[in-house]
Amino acid sequence: MLHHASISPAAYLRSRAGRVCVALRGSTVAEILARAETALAESQFLEFRLDSIDHPAAAVAPIAEFLAERKDIAAIATCRRKPYGGGFSGTLQQELAILRTAAESGFALVDLEIESAEECSPSDLEKLRETDAALLISFHDFQHSVDPEQAFERIQRFEPDFVKIVNTAHTLTDSLNLLHWITQRSVDAQVVGIAMGEAGVVSRVLSLRAGSAFTFASAPDGAETAPGQMTARTLKELYRIDQLDQATRIYGVAGNPIAHSLSPLMQNSAFHRERINAVYLPLKTETIGDLLHLVRHLPLSGISVTMPLKQQVLPHLANVDPLTAKLGACNTIRMGADGNLYGFNTDVAGIIRPLEKRMSLRGARVLVLGAGGAARAAVYGLVDKGAEVSIWSRKEASARELAASAGAPNGKASSPSQGKAKCIPRQQIAASEFDVLINATPCGMHGNAHPLPLETEEWRARLVFDLVYNPLDTPLLKAARARGIHTIQGVEMFVHQGARQFELWTGKPAPENEMLRVVLFALHKGH
């Protein structure tokens, strides 16, 4: 029984089922039970969203039978009404009747939304309390990042066993505010806090560390019951949330978009392999102020910086390495022991080293497609190695600016050992021969509408290097191989720059083979 005098509801749940609850939906009893059976491989703690079932009152008995046959499961019954974000179209009394039946049938907890609790009579709530199930009262806001303390005060006057606050994060700061609230309130109450949405991933991974009694995950098939929800396996194996503590160093990849980034998989696998107490998170943000607030107040130990922040972050760094200064772009930040931020650029090494494994770059004729951050790293690195670089971009002015700045870095004349950079017209590309073609545009990337930066017949090269790594085999690489041309996949650049980041952060050699293995496996699975 949950209300045994010697053990709290939270302690009982932790001892029985752990702290990651898998939320389950299904339009029929058969569907939700099938998902429950699969979910048991990841967690013994399950939430049955009865409001997703066509006839929830009739569903309680067969689900209770399922639970009775599996004594190690702890289950939550939820039957949220439609006006409050659920799927149940019945009345308050019908909802209460379903929850009471569930509580009397072996469910460990019942979840009552705050709006229903406020409509209830004291006797209705007392009937729920008289059962063996613990009472969780929940607040949800599916649009805004509300003050969790105000929601807590609404709930706490009913003195439930658990208080659940769920809001929607639009910024990293929203997630941080919720985490700080969990830390403060978990001292004297059993709270569960989650920020929904992509910017709320931080809260999902770090909520247990902050003091949340438990957290929620999606079913193994990825059927989310809330935006931003991850599977229990992802939370436990990729982010190792059960092992995070106050000594855990926190890193992340910041920018937008980052939903499909494989950096969290790559870096967390490296931390795990080297037994480093650290976690690496996706940090969706478009503003440098939002990121820096998280850096200072979480705090973060290091960051991978992606677009649109690679230039915006520069004024906020105490110092940068020569490459970052030359490129005017930073992709790696390390928090110093003095509390200052230091910037590095590992993109150049990620492009140059795979090429140098295959050829000498001095005097090599290289065509770079694009004029953005990746192209900039490629051009500067190639010129520094003595290559003759031609740049083409749909944005001709950007290509001209890049050629001019790379040809005479910092306004100084090029040294004799340096290569050269020039802007090339599209019609001239077909009449030229190149040793290397580098695609530094998003063409061919997962979700990009343009498969090729140039048509196949428009260029001639002996080697093609596509910096796009997802998908593994881009349309450009396939076209090159069809013509018998050697290729380099973008995954080489991605892993190498990530390995260099790992080394800058940890001072240890990166497990590059392991990093490559997990990224290749994910890409082959069609991540």
Cis, peptide link before residue 471, omega less than 30° from 0: yes
DSSP per-residue string spanning 44-104: SEEEEEGGGSSSHHHHHHHHHHHHHT-TT-EEEEE--BGGGTSSB-S-HHHHHHHHHHHHH
Parallel, antiparallel, or unpaired for β 45-49 and 74-78?
A: parallel
DSSP per-residue string spanning 459-488: --EEEEEE---SSSS-HHHHHHHHTT-EEE
Q: How far is CA 201 from CA 232, 239, 264, in A?
A: 13, 11, 12
Place of tokens 């498969």: 451
Token couple for 317? 């760094």
Token couple for 203? 């809260």
Q: What is the DSSP letter of 458?
A: G
Parallel, antiparallel, or unpaired for β 486-488 and 461-466?
A: parallel
What are the φ and ψ backbone dihedral angles of 115, each rounded to 5 degrees? -60, -40
Q: Is 310 a catalytic residue?
A: yes
What are the φ and ψ backbone dihedral angles of 226, each rounded to 5 degrees? -155, 150
Question: What is the identity of the amino acid at 321?
Answer: D
Separation CA 449–CA 428 (nearest Å):
25
Q: What is the DSSP letter of 431?
A: T
Parallel, antiparallel, or unpaired for β 45-49 and 20-24?
A: parallel
Separation CA 435–CA 418 (nearest Å):
18
What are the φ and ψ backbone dihedral angles of 294, each rounded to 5 degrees? -65, -45
Adjacent-strand bridge partners of 434: 461
Do 48 and 32 touch, CB atoms closer than 8 A? yes
Choose among 80, 102, 103, 78: nearest CA to 92.
Answer: 80
Q: Kindly tell me the burial class for residue 335, based on how many C-beta atoms sit within 10 Å of its own C-beta (0-12, 13-18, 19 or more).
A: buried
| Per annotation, catalytic residue among 310, 385, 395, 412 | 310
Token couple for 497? 């720059």
Choose among 462, 414, 464: nearest CA to 443.
Answer: 464
Choose among 90, 85, 87, 127: nearest CA to 110.
Answer: 127
What are the φ and ψ backbone dihedral angles of 252, each rounded to 5 degrees? -175, 170
Cite the active site residues: 310
